[in-house]
Amino acid sequence: MIGFLRKINLGVALVWGLLFVAMNSSFAFAAEELPPEKAYLNEVYKNMMDVNNLHYDMAIKAITPMGEVQAAINGEVQENPLTIKQDINLCYRDEQNKENKVMLKQYIEQNHGNLVMYLLSDGKWIKQIVPIDPSLNKKLTADEKVSARMDMLQLLKSVKLKRETPSYKYMEITLDSIQISDAIGAAVKQNNAQDKDIVSAIAVARLGLLAAGDIKYNVKIDKTTNMIKEIDIDLTEPIRKGAGIFLDIANPKDRTKIEDFLIKSTLNMQITYSKYNQVGPLEIPQDVQNNAKEIKLDGKAVIPKT
C-alpha cells in the first residue's frame, strides 16, 4: 500500500493533517478558477509543501461503553532523511473506572528501502523493519508539487470560512469520499497491485469509506504565515456509518452488540503544529540502535549473529 503513495512528501502529509494523502492521479484546473476559499487554501497548501521539519502535538480521545481512552502524542519529524521521534502517553479507564497509564517512546527512520522502527516499552527497546518503496520520500519537482496540490484540492468537496480573528482563520473542510475512493482505485490499478491480501484490504477500506460518506474537519490557519496551525476532526459519525456496512454480515446477536457499542462511542482527534523548519537534525541515538532487540513482523525475535 505504501508503494502507492509516490507523490507524498512531508508537506503533502501536513496538508492532510497526517490523516489523508494524495494518490497518483492528475487533475487539470487552474488556481484562478477556484472559489475564493479554495484559492486561499491552495496558497496555504503551497506554503505547507515547503516544510521540511516540524514539531507536532496530537491528542486523541475515545469514549466507549468499555471505558475512556486518551492518547497524547508529542513528536518531531524531518523529511530528509525521513526521521520521526515521538513520546506516546496513553491513559485509559476501564469499566470499573480504574485508571491505567502507559508511556512509550518511539523512533522511526527510513533506511533506503526499509522503514526501521524502534519502540521503548517496559524499559526495553524493540526494533522492527518494514519494507517500503524508496520513492516514498523522494524529492518532488516543482511540477510534481503543483500536481499533488491540485490532486488534493480536487478531493475537497467544499471549503467554508467559519470565523476569523485578527490572527487566525477557522475553516471547515469537507472531503469527497467518492473522489477519494476513486483515487485509491486508480492508484491500485496504476500500480498493478498483485498481492491478494492488499487488494482485498483496499477493497474493504473503499467500501467503508463510501459508507462513511463525506468527512469534515476543521483547520486553524495563521494569517501572518498562511500556515496550518491546528486541525480538529470528529471521527464519530464517519466510523459509525463506515462500520454500518459490515453489520449486515454479522449475526443478529453480534449486530445488536456492535450497534450499541458504536452508538455509545465517540472519537475525536486534534493535531497542533509548531516550529516549522526549526527542528533537527533528528538522529536515532546510538545506544537505542545497539540495545534494540529486533522482532520480525511475524512476532519472532531475530537472534543477532556473533
* pLDDT tens-digit readout, 273-298: 999 999 979 999 999 999 999 988 65
Q: State pLDDT tens for residues 5-35.
A: 334 344 444 444 433 333 333 333 444 477 8
Distance CA 265, CA 65 (A): 7
pTM of the full predicted structure? 0.79
**What is the separation of C-alpha 142 from the centre of its chain, rounded to a whole number of angstroms?**
24
Instruction: Give the CA count within 13 Å in the CB-facing half-sphere of 98.
Output: 4
Q: State pLDDT tens for residues 99-135.
A: 899 999 999 998 877 889 999 988 899 999 988 765 5
Q: Mean pLDDT over all residues of the chain?
A: 80
Specify the amino acid at residue 306.
Answer: T
pLDDT over 90 (residue 57):
yes
Distance CA 301, CA 299 (A): 7
Instruction: Assign a CATH topology to domain 2-294.
Output: outer membrane lipoprotein receptor (LolB), chain A (2.50.20)
